[in-house]
Amino acid sequence: MLWGPPLAACYLTGGWRSARDGVAALRARSLDVDLLMVVAALGAAAIGQAFDGGLLIVIFATSAALEGWATARTADSVRGLLDLTPSRAVRVAPGHGEEIVEVDDLAVGDVIVVRPGERVPADGVVAAGASETDQATVTGESLPAPTGVGDEVYAATVNGSGLLRVTVSREASGSVVARIAAQVEEASSTTAPTQRSIERIEQRYSVVVVTATVVLFVAPLLSGELLVDALLRAMTFMIVASPCALVLATMPPLLAAIATASRHGVLVRSAEVMERLASTTVVVVDKTGTLTTGAPEITAVHGAPGWSRDDVLALAAAVESGSEHPLAGAILAAVPEAALATPTGFRAVPGTGASASVRGVEVVIGRPDRVLADRGDDESDDGWARRAVAEAEALGDTVVAVVADGRTVGVVVLSDHPRPSAVRAVARLRSLVGRAPVLLTGDQPQAARRVADAVDIAQAHAGMLPEDKVAAIDDLRRVGDVVLAVGDGVNDAPALAAADVGIAVSHRGSSPDTAVTLRSADVVIVGDDLDAVPATLALARRAHRLVRANLVAAAAVVVGLVMWDVVGHLPLPLGVAGHEGSTILVALNGLRLLRRSAWPADTCRETGGLQR
């Protein structure tokens, strides 16, 4: 009698939520694991095993609390970044004074002051000053990045020793940190295919468990076994056969991997994407801006008779002022802003070039094989241009032809160089996937081959329009490959969307000119870090291994305990401890990916000894 009130309180406090959820599921004509646990506890109490039933309630409630804690920990680990963003900022007032305002009141275009040691209150571009910023909270980069005029800085990052004036480029709700938090919260609400399969099976499996429990209770009674013994065996079976651990085997590792990736500047859209990423069998990569720096330099300018270098560049720069292509930056950098004309009627054709009207002249710039061929110039008119193009392309350089009112007036030669991390990233991808990446580029064959050789890629396809890249990806998928596509530009958006998983390497966070690419991608790398591609793939593979290990362990425990109860005599307390203990261990095993060491900063551990 002394144990009556405490046990009653235990049943009420620990079991009411499970009973409520179970009844709600029953009304929806489905059986829930929560209801099975409550029925088993009440059955144990009915045959005088109230303490064992109470133990079941306590452990089951504890495992449910751990499940909730695991989910909350996954999201909170990233949403906590928002707490690092200052609530106030120092804004430059119209009269060049300073005023303290709420960060939420900052508007795009405002100029704010960030003093040494302070956290940057909003995303923006440095307008004045020089310093270094610790961007670990956003990009995961452990070393401070040199920061000067024109560089982008992110909210929640830490300014170093210099004074900065920053022009706000995004409102607080649209900052990179806010996007990371929102992305993780959205991803946490998704369900992986494996989890959906388990949940579909769970409904039928629960009916089987209830049916088997009834049979296991009635059959011994008909053979003369005591009511108490038959009911005790049946209740023990219902407990140990419930698929609690199997239900928790999948999502904790995947959600923990999403949270860990986001802390290093990698946004994964869903648990389904993380699971598909782990199954990658081939990687296709873009060249310009992905494997290369995306910052080509002009090495030569050839003009038609009567056209100087400055004349050719002025026309090309006027058209490129409306373009987002990496080549545009190099051309614009070579022309003083005061000499830059304003174009009208700008039109970009991805993979070909662009056109616009400049001071009444119709100017077309782009790939020589398309621009020159489309114009149909006579050999006598543009023979010099074709020779210059042939010489440059033979060296693997990139060439842009400039055509004014149907006449070729210039050829601009540019060179792009592989990123310092490209060789390392390609080697890691090869080790992870088991085959070298495939290079797909719209550039000339010689330029593609030069970069492919530099980063040790054997298979390179050049001269590809966006639709050609999509066709190549479709061909790979038709033969059974799971394709991971990596790119950065607008012309990569169709390929990223066509692949099983698309990764966008974002040079400028969420700037408007990359919005199309970022929307098409399943994974976005905020920090422009090519090493993050193999690191994310290695993390997804590790999460997948944990999921499989959890499923095997959970199934083994269920089968073992069920067989023990059916062919032998499994004590109820031991069945409760084994079943609920496995549930707790499975959940905690998945949470291991929340540790800082889970991010494969050096994937030699994941790729069998590859060194930097």
- DSSP conformation class of 131: E
Active site residue 453: no
Residue 414 and residue 312 in contact, taking contact as beta carbons nearer than 8 Å: no
The string over 469-484, giving b where at least 16 C-beta atoms fall within 10 Å of a residue's C-beta and e elsewhere, is: bbebbeebeeeebbbb
- DSSP conformation class of 338: G
Q: DSSP assignment of 378-405, as one string? A: -HHHHHHHHHHHHHHHHTT-EEEEEEET
Residue 256 and residue 546 in contact, taking contact as beta carbons nearer than 8 Å: no
- R_g (Cα) of the chain, nearest Å: 31
Surface-to-core class of residue 150, CB atoms within 10 Å of its CB (0-12 exposed, 13-18 middle, 19+ buried): exposed
Residue type for 522, please? Answer: D
The CA-atom distances, in angstroms, between 239 and each of 52, 173, 283 are: 12, 47, 45
430 closest CA partner among 540, 286, 533: 533
Spatial separation of the C-alpha atoms in residues 280 and 268, rounded to whole Å: 15
* Helix-then-strand count for the chain, H and E: 21, 22
12 closest CA partner among 64, 58, 68: 58
262 CB contacts (<8 Å, ≥6 apart)?
78, 180, 183, 184, 268
Spatial separation of the C-alpha atoms in residues 169 and 126, rounded to whole Å: 10
H or E segment to which residue 294 belongs: none
User: In this structure, are strands 145-147 and 501-505 parallel, antiparallel, or unpaired?
Assistant: unpaired
First to last CA, the chain: 69
* Selected catalytic residue, list 52, 286, 397, 481: 286
Residue 480 and residue 282 in contact, taking contact as beta carbons nearer than 8 Å: no
H or E segment to which residue 301 belongs: strand 297-303
- CA–chain centroid gap for 437, Å, is 19
Return the C-alpha torsion angle 483, 488, 489, 491, nearest 10: -10
Angle between helices 271-278 and 532-567 (to 10 degrees): 100
Q: DSSP assignment of 167-216, as one string? A: EE-S-GGGSHHHHHHHHHHHHHT---HHHHHHHHHHHHHHHHHHHHHHHH
Catalytic residues: 286
